[in-house]
Amino acid sequence: MSGEEMAPAIPAATLVLMRERRAAPPELLMLERAGTMAFAAGAMVFPGGRIDPGDLALATNEAVIGALPPKDAAARIAAIRETIEEVGIAIGLHPLPDAAAIAALRQALAEGADFGALLAAGGWALRLEELTAFARWRPNFRETRLFDTNFYLAFTPEGIEPAADGGESVHALWISAQDALAGADEGRYRVIFPTRRNLERLALFAGFEEARAHASTFAIEPVTPWIEERAGEKFLCIRDDQGYPVTAVPLADQLRI
């Protein structure tokens, strides 16, 4: 595995929004992807998508990114932009846009408007530090579409509700990691391998600060699954030093895409 050539991958970013509840596990914002999508069709995922040229352009502006490395900054910008597009929630913008402004932003982005120009016109600054780096998944299977995805965490106040875009996603909901895992076990949700491993990790935490503190103890290095045979059975594995409670599962039980 160590010397294996890496297949080309599309740079992407995902935002895990977390809100807290009294005397109950925190909830995460998840989307059900449309069944017609080429990648992860019908699966439950977190908001996110490709890092586009506009995100990379914004990440060359030191006034925007501060001390962040440009690649990390571009991924954070993409995660913020995609979350606005997919669920109509603006995290990491200051001042916080009201509902009408978010709706206008979302519509303009859907029509192909430049995110940086929209921010400048609305007088919004990016607060990239509101996102906490959580993981980076970089599979190396020979799939049709392979993504190199940065995962970020962000706290979300109560009272903020998502709305699926009706195109790439057909449903958006707040759900605890525990309930999402139970729904996958019961066949109610389709959950691909990286999402399930992240749900298992997120299920460890009683709140956002606990999740953020845990994330800070691990270097953000690529999580690259591999297949190995154990006692005559093939297992899909990840390293055991990257913060995940489950690191090997029977290959036959897993959805990779």
Range of the domain at 144: 10-218
pLDDT of residue 1: 46
Q: Rounded to the nearest 10 degrees, what angle do helices 193-202 and 177-185 cross at?
A: 140
Residue type, 219: A
Q: Rounded to the nearest 10 degrees, what angle do helices 115-122 and 99-110 cross at?
A: 150
Structure tokens at 171: 């449903």
Percent of the chain with pLDDT over 70: 93
pLDDT-derived band at 35 (thresholds 50, 70, 90) equals low
C-alpha span between 202 and 215 (Å, rounded)? 10
Percent of the chain with pLDDT over 90: 80
Query: Is residue 87, in this structure, part of any structural domain at all?
Result: yes
C-alpha span between 214 and 134 (Å, rounded)? 9
pLDDT-derived band at 168 (thresholds 50, 70, 90) equals confident
pLDDT at 2 over 60: no
pLDDT of residue 23: 86
Query: Is residue 92, in this structure, part of any structural domain at all?
Result: yes
CB of 17 closer than 8 Å to CB of 156: yes
Instruction: Tell which phi-psi region holds residue 104, choosing left (phi > 0), alpha (psi between -120 and 50) or beta.
Output: alpha
Structure tokens at 74: 């571009």
Query: Is residue 94, in this structure, part of any structural domain at all?
Result: yes
Structure tokens at 35: 């069944």
Provide the 10 A C-beta neighbour count for residue 54. 20
Provide the 10 A C-beta neighbour count for residue 182. 13
Query: Is residue 78, in this structure, part of any structural domain at all?
Result: yes
C-alpha span between 48 and 42 (Å, rounded)? 15
What stretch of H or E contains 181? helix 177-185
Query: Is residue 253, in this structure, part of any structural domain at all?
Result: no
Dmax of the chain from CA atoms? 61
pLDDT digits (tens, 9 = 90+) for 106-156: 999 999 999 999 999 999 999 999 999 999 999 987 665 789 999 999 999
More confident residue, 235 or 157: 235
Q: Which residues pair with 137 in a beta bridge?
A: 149, 223
Query: Is residue 2, in this structure, part of any structural domain at all?
Result: no
CB of 12 closer than 8 Å to CB of 78: yes
CATH of the domain at 99: 3.90.79.10
Per-residue b or e along 21-34, where b marks 16 or more CB atoms closer than 10 Å to that residue's CB: eeeebbbbbbbbbb
For residues 42-66, give the mean pLDDT.
94
SS3 for 132? strand
Query: Is residue 237, in this structure, part of any structural domain at all?
Result: no
CB of 149 closer than 8 Å to CB of 155: no
pLDDT of residue 6: 79
Q: How far is CA 46 from CA 145, 150, 229, in A?
A: 18, 12, 31
What's the domain count of the chain?
A: 1
Query: Is residue 23, in this structure, part of any structural domain at all?
Result: yes
Residue 95: cis peptide before it, omega within 30 degrees of 0: yes
